[in-house]
A and B are shown apart, each in its own frame.
Chain A
Amino acid sequence: YVLTQPPSVSVAPGQTARITCEGSNFGIKRIHWYQQRPGQAPVMVVYADNARPSGIPERFSGSNSGSTATLTINRVEAGDEADYYCQVWDSSSDHPYAFGSGTKVTVL
């Protein structure tokens, strides 16, 4: 299962970053998002399209239009600079847990 993300997104502090993830049959799948700062383990920031784990700021939100999933980061801060990965579960695949290739968010 292939998930397509843009390699990079650049955003100024205080602005909004939008990271997209494209795949097939997104309307029947739930999309999850992870943040990975340099040298650190991934951290889930959104699960099941638009739910936030405990401790994740409200600035992080997700959406799923059925063909494209989007992670939105409002009021971007320097600490948001990281790699972001989308992930889905595809029950019909032999490799059911798939990650996108990742998007590097640079805060200008």
Chain B
Amino acid sequence: EVQLMESGGGLVQPGGSLRLSCAVSGLTFSSHWMHWVRQAPGKGLVWISRINGDGRSTSYGDSVKGRFTISRDNAKSTLFLQMDNLEPDDTALYFCTTEYLHSFYYWGQGAVVTVSS
């Protein structure tokens, strides 16, 4: 059974930082491109970042480019999202997800990030 488990969410002040983790089991982690998708309260899904299998290629949505950094540790089957200079609009539920044919096949349950003073 494939499982994705996010952790590291919480309450942070504007301008602060958080690091999300996503532990993956049940599949060959290094073979899969991985993504982060977020959902603001009461809003829809928004793609924010992806990383290829060996970690050498990354891309970001405009809303987080220059502030967020995606990375992975294939030895530990773990995906990360370093979030710096956080803004109130970054308040959301953050999901990690695996890619298959440019779709999002498996999803974690999400980590809540709240940016507020």
Residues of chain A having any CB pair with chain B under 8 Å? 30, 32, 34, 36, 40-44, 47-48, 53, 83, 85, 87-89, 94-102
Contact = CB atoms under 8 A, between A and B. Distances in A.
Given A95-B62, A96-B59, A102 B45 contact: yes
B103 A94 contact: no
Interface residues of B, number: 20
A48 B47 contact: no
A68 B48 CA distance: 25
Given A95-B61, A96-B59, 4 more contacts: A42-B104, A83-B44, A89-B102, A97-B35
Interface of B: 35, 44-47, 50, 59, 61-62, 95, 100-105, 107-110
A99 B102 contact: no
Contacts, number: 57
Contact of B103 (A36, A48, A98): A48
Contact of B95 (A41, A48, A85): A41
